[in-house]
């Protein structure tokens, strides 16, 4: 699937105000076998946090493409993308003209702690009714840094989750290798009740499962997602479309 194909499908659905808000709160991931949009979130209010967890080969490419799609659902003044990752590929998202993207330099635990201080400031601004209405927080590869996952317990992620606990205006997208953690046999305990786990299988294909109230997972839902063109080419395309928004991308 091409990036513009998913964006066009999202655009068509978003012509209805009710569907538009559903897409913004649900996070469109891709399409199922019936060609219907697959959403990450099915609950209006999170039990703990709103978390879309991505694991498997190619997870970073999947998350970057998801960020590109989400950038079409918000005006630049409506959402902030805050990326905490040592992976340099996320720097490409800074080129999105239609989105406010912050990608701090992350190379060790000290850098994470500094970035978390900024994150707390953003959260406090929201508590005071200031700043962007929505925060999209991307966490990827933090467990691979020295001193950040010594016991395989993903403490570096869980500490950040505590900061955004029960906030309906924050969406977390986490990239982590669950098979290398204590959660390998019980991923629902990490992902969180009501949330979504995306397991990328190969280029453009993934399985989506949702976490039940008892932390078990639903049966996998096969899904296709954008795998071409490159993320940079998709960004260049979106930047060339005047006033990029879901209502305009399929009509230009």
CATH for 30: 3.40.50.300
6 or 43, which is more confident = 6
- How far is 207 from 242, CA to CA, in rounded Å? 34
Q: Is residue 251 in some structural domain? A: no
* pLDDT grade for 243, boundaries at 50, 70 and 90: low
- Residue 252 maps to a domain: no
pLDDT above 60: residue 244 = no
Report yes or no on 102 lying in a domain.
Answer: yes
Q: Is residue 83 part of a domain?
A: yes
pTM: 0.93
Do residues 3 and 65 lie in contact, with contact meaning Cβ atoms separated by under 8 Å? yes
- Spatial strand order of the sheet with 79-84 comes to 37-39, 28-31, 221-224, 205-210, 196-202, 51-55, 170-175, 134-140, 79-84, 100-102
- Is the pLDDT at 153 greater than 80, yes or no? yes
**Residue 152 is assigned to a structural domain of this protein:** yes
Q: Is residue 62 part of a domain?
A: yes
pLDDT tens-digit series, residues 12-69: 888 887 788 888 889 999 999 999 999 999 877 777 899 999 999 899 999 999 999 9
Q: Domain tally for the chain?
A: 1
The domain containing residue 96 runs over which residues?
A: 3-240
Q: Is residue 183 part of a domain?
A: yes
Please check whether residue 246 lies inside any domain of the structure.
no
């Amino acid at each position: 699937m091409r990036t513009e194909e998913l964006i066009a499908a999202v655009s068509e659905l978003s012509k209805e105000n009710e569907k538009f808000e559903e897409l913004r709160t649900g996070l469109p991931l891709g399409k199922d076998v019936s060609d219907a949009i697959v959403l990450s979130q099915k609950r209006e209010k999170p039990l703990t946090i709103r978390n879309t967890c991505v694991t498997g080969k190619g997870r970073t490419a999947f998350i970057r493409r998801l960020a590109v799609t989400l950038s079409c659902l918000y005006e630049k003044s409506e959402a902030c993308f805050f990326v905490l990752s040592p992976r340099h590929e996320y720097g490409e998202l800074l080129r999105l003209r239609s989105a406010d993207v912050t990608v701090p330099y992350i190379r060790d635990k000290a850098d994470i702690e500094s970035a978390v201080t900024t994150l707390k400031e953003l959260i406090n601004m929201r508590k005071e009714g200031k700043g962007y209405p929505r925060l999209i927080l991307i966490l990827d590869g933090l467990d691979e840094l020295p001193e950040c996952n010594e016991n395989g317990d993903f403490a570096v992620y869980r500490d950040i989750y505590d900061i955004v606990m029960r906030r309906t205006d924050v969406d977390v997208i986490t990239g982590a290798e669950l098979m290398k953690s204590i959660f390998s046999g019980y991923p629902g305990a990490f992902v969180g009740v009501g949330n979504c786990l995306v397991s990328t299988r190969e280029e453009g294909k993934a399985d989506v499962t949702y976490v039940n109230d008892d932390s078990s997972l639903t049966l996998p839902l096969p899904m296709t997602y954008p795998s071409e063109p490159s993320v940079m080419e998709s960004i260049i395309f979106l930047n060339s479309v005047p006033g990029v928004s879901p209502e305009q991308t399929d009509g230009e």
